[in-house]
Amino acid sequence: MRRRRAQNDNRPVDIADRIPDVRDGLTRVERIVIWQLHVLEKERGGRMVPTAQLYGRVVEYVDLTPEELSRILARLGAQKN
């Protein structure tokens, strides 16, 4: 797999994580965000999940910044309450 460097960081970024799947248009990173959101909602008894808690779970699987997570959540239609 080819890797490239993030603009302001030395962490490698896997390009395959950012390419949308032809089945539903979701990237691997978006799929991980949705999966971890589901897991956390179940753990919290259906209550809303704080973004910081979700970020902590997501970065266990993929490197991304808090700003990238915010963009992904906005693209997926997350709403602030």
**Segment 31-54, tens digit of pLDDT:** 999 999 999 999 999 999 999 999
Alpha carbon distance, N-terminus to C-terminus of the chain: 39
Q: Do 26 and 69 form a contact (C-beta atoms < 8 A)?
A: no
Q: pTM of the prediction?
A: 0.77
Query: Residue 16's pLDDT band (boundaries 50, 70, 90)?
Result: confident
What's the angle, vertex CA 29, arms to CA 39 and CA 77, rounded to 5? 70
